Amino acid sequence: MSAHPEYIWMNGDFVKWEDAKVHVMTHALHYGTGVFEGLRAYPTKDDLAVFRLPEHTKRFFDSAKVYLLKCAYTPAQLEEATLELLRRNKLHSPTYIRPLLYVAKLGLDLDTFGSPTSAIIIASPFERLFAKPGISVCVSSWRRIHESATPPIAKACGNYINSTLAKLEASQKGFDDAILLDQNGLVSEGTGENVFLVRGKKVITPDLASSVLEGVTRDTMIQIADDEGFDVEEREVNRVELYTSDEVFFVGSAAEVTPILEVDGRKVGSGQPGLVAEKIRQLYGQTVRGEVERYRHWLTRVYR
Ligand code: PMP
């Protein structure tokens, strides 16, 4: 296979990768007026399967609703297009899937009401976001965007300029990634990940009032941790808890479960991946590969 997959789904057609182009006057290019998703497909024993496809589709349409973006396709049509795209590209290895819906009008007028939109889906082989067993992060000097400005719960393209600032700061300071605080100075989330802490038998994650994206992996983790008998808490988290918890880890469709070994130059726990994160990481890996019976309903088979 070539370095990139052969097709991109674009407004109902399977377009050659080279031909999937947009005009420079496209509204979304100037103003970030679009919404997107990021999800994955994994090989299972007998098929490739998309992990939590309906949940990602629902969030996609919820994000579109916030910005009054019209989509010419139904959730069922987009889900079928995703599966057909994976088949046309003959994908069988771990794959990252990126649906995007954006304001496609050519023009600079900010009123997007009723504007034409384009829907695209990209599917490309993808193994790991962080190619190491654990990472170092800083607490960013940039605060997470607030509900009252651009709601973080909607996965809008423009939101990611906030993540980019934090990511740039992290890489300039020599960290792998950053954790952002919300406008009240409480822990919010990573640049593209939700954050979890372990304190004794408690597994903790910032609540939805802490300017987080309502991550699908976050939800998966809450269910897995609960089923494993941990005491799961969604609550406000103070910055200093990042330094004093037994374990801290990121979760996300791209990051999967990534232990954080150091925050602001302070070792988390022993400075090695913790036992809880390790257990949850393994269970997550088995879950997405269809090896855990009780979670198999989260998988949508591709080739059947
Ligand atoms: N927070 C942000 C800002 C993200 O971009 C992502 C990735 N979509 C997440 C959290 C994790 O969400 P999910 O588990 O649904 O991928």
* CATH code for position 16: 3.30.470.10
The pLDDT score that the predictor gives to residue 23 is: 98
Yes or no: say if 302 and 50 are a contact pair by the CB < 8 Å rule. Answer: yes
Tokens of 34: 């679009």
Please identify which of the residues 155, 167, 173, 267 carries the catalytic annotation: 155
Cα of 192 to ligand 1 centre, how many Å?
A: 5
Is 120 inside any structural domain?
A: yes
Pocket of ligand 1 (CB under 6 A): 38, 163, 189, 192-194, 213, 215-218, 252-253
Is 96 inside any structural domain?
A: yes
Is 130 inside any structural domain?
A: no
The residue contributing the CA closest to ligand 1 atom 4 is: 192
| Residues 76 and 148 reside in one and the same domain | no
| Residues 173 and 193 reside in one and the same domain | yes
| Residues 103 and 197 reside in one and the same domain | no
CA-closest candidate to residue 34, choices 159, 170, 189, 183: 159
Q: Name beta bridge partners: 143.
A: 181
Cα of 107 to ligand 1 centre, how many Å?
A: 30
From the alpha carbon of 59, which atom of ligand 1 is closest?
Answer: 15
Map tokens 């809008």 to a residue. Answer: 156
| Residues 52 and 181 reside in one and the same domain | no
Tokens of 198: 């372990």
Mutate which of 57, 143, 177, 217 for ligand 1 pocket (most atoms within 8 A of beta carbon):
217
The boundaries of the domain holding residue 16 are: 7-125
Distance between CA 222 and CA 218 in Å, rounded?
A: 6
Domain count, the chain: 2
| Residues 176 and 276 reside in one and the same domain | yes
Tokens of 172: 């300039």
Mutate which of 42, 249, 253, 298 for ligand 1 pocket (most atoms within 8 A of beta carbon):
253
Cα of 154 to ligand 1 centre, how many Å?
A: 11
From the alpha carbon of 219, which atom of ligand 1 is closest?
Answer: 14
CA-closest candidate to residue 33, choices 97, 109, 124, 98: 109
Yes or no: say if 255 and 38 are a contact pair by the CB < 8 Å rule. Answer: no
The pLDDT score that the predictor gives to residue 1 is: 42
| Residues 52 and 142 reside in one and the same domain | no
| Residues 112 and 253 reside in one and the same domain | no
Q: 60, 91, 125 — which closes off a domain?
A: 125
The residue contributing the CA closest to ligand 1 atom 12 is: 215
Q: What are the backbone dihedrals phi and psi of residue 50, each rounded to the nearest 5 degrees, phi first? A: -85, 135
The pLDDT score that the predictor gives to residue 129 is: 92
| Residues 19 and 164 reside in one and the same domain | no
From the alpha carbon of 152, which atom of ligand 1 is closest?
Answer: 3
Cα of 213 to ligand 1 centre, how many Å?
A: 6
The residue contributing the CA closest to ligand 1 atom 3 is: 192
Show pLDDT as tens, one digit a residue, over the chain (304 residues). 458 999 999 999 999 999 999 999 999 999 999 999 999 999 999 999 999 999 999 999 999 999 999 999 999 999 999 999 999 999 999 999 999 999 999 999 999 999 999 999 999 999 999 999 999 999 999 999 999 999 999 999 999 999 999 999 999 999 999 999 999 999 999 999 999 999 999 999 999 999 999 999 999 999 999 999 999 999 999 999 999 999 999 999 999 999 999 999 999 999 999 999 999 999 999 999 999 999 999 999 999 8
From the alpha carbon of 220, which atom of ligand 1 is closest?
Answer: 14
Distance between CA 31 and CA 182 in Å, rounded?
A: 23
What are the CB-based long-range contacts (under 8 Å, 24+) for 221-227? 221/194, 221/196, 221/251, 221/257, 221/280, 221/284, 223/295, 224/280, 224/283, 224/284, 224/287, 224/295, 225/280, 227/294
The pLDDT score that the predictor gives to residue 293 is: 97
Instruction: Write the single-letter amino acid at 249.
Output: F
| Residues 164 and 73 reside in one and the same domain | no
Q: Name beta bridge partners: 180.
A: 189
The pLDDT score that the predictor gives to residue 8 is: 98
The residue contributing the CA closest to ligand 1 atom 11 is: 252
Distance between CA 295 and CA 198 in Å, rounded?
A: 23
The pLDDT score that the predictor gives to residue 3 is: 80
Cα of 97 to ligand 1 centre, how many Å?
A: 13
279 is an active site residue: no
